[in-house]
Amino acid sequence: MNRLECIKSMVAKCHTAADIGTDHGYVAEMLLNENVCEKVIATDLNKGPLNRAIKHLTSVNLHKKCDFRLGSGLTVLKENEADAIIIAGMGGELIADIIEASKNIALQASQLILQPMTTGDKLRQYLYENGFRITDENIVKEFHHYYFVIKAVPGKDEITDEIFYEISKIILEKKEPLILEYLNKILNVNENIIRSIVKNNGRDYNEKAEALKIKNKKIRELMEN
């Protein structure tokens, strides 16, 4: 399963989905073709990507089921207009900023499907601290890159350890083989950083090395459970 298929698979059947930052409109196409939703509000901040989406969705004869809107984040939506909100292909901190800027809109959707390209830890922390509950999460791999797709709903939840901002508790519990591969990669990266710190900086950077050693120990414990 690739990244876009994973995003589509996590959207529960609904009337209207908003695809924020639609780019070519591929997610909108998949949702409509598989009758996941009846209508898509396809939005983009820039005219170029929005025009590409209009062109593509017209070519596959789905444009009549789409409402194309130019604008920033969720500001193009009215309250209760979209059941599902999809924000994919952006940094985790930017996704958090988009939600925060129109939190009333986000909190009235029944589901948020979020796919951060970077800083997934910052996005998870934001969700936990701002009235959202993560109900599902998946990991996919494309060309040596690992991507996380997060499903969140309005609600409250607490985490038992801050390590779960960085490492998805839900995916760990699923015992997905890819998560072990991903964690081994993280361990190797951290070990290389530790070696570099010890070699180049001696005692001055000992704190950073120690913090990484503690983190690696915790990761290994999670992998063994």
One domain for residues 187 and 124: no
Q: Is residue 100 part of a domain?
A: yes
- Per-residue tokens: 223: 């992998």
The answer to whether 112 and 151 have CB atoms below 8 angstroms apart is yes
Q: What is the mean pLDDT of the chain?
A: 94
pLDDT value of residue 202: 60
One domain for residues 33 and 111: yes
Q: Is residue 164 part of a domain?
A: no
- Per-residue tokens: 203: 């005692």
* CA distance readout (Å), 115 to 92, 100, 120, 224: 8, 16, 8, 27
pLDDT value of residue 142: 92
Whole-number Å distance between alpha carbons of 69 and 37: 18
Q: Is residue 213 part of a domain?
A: yes
pLDDT value of residue 159: 87
One domain for residues 23 and 54: yes
Tally the residues of the chain: 225
Q: Is residue 101 part of a domain?
A: yes
93 CB neighbour count, 10 Å cutoff = 15
Of the chain, the percentage scoring pLDDT greater than 90 comes to: 84
pLDDT value of residue 89: 93
pLDDT value of residue 197: 83
Helix axes 177-201, 206-224, angle to 10 degrees: 160
**213-223 confidence digits (pLDDT tens):** 999 999 999 98
* Counted domains in the chain: 2
**Where is average pLDDT lowest: 48-57, 130-139, 208-217?**
208-217
pTM: 0.93
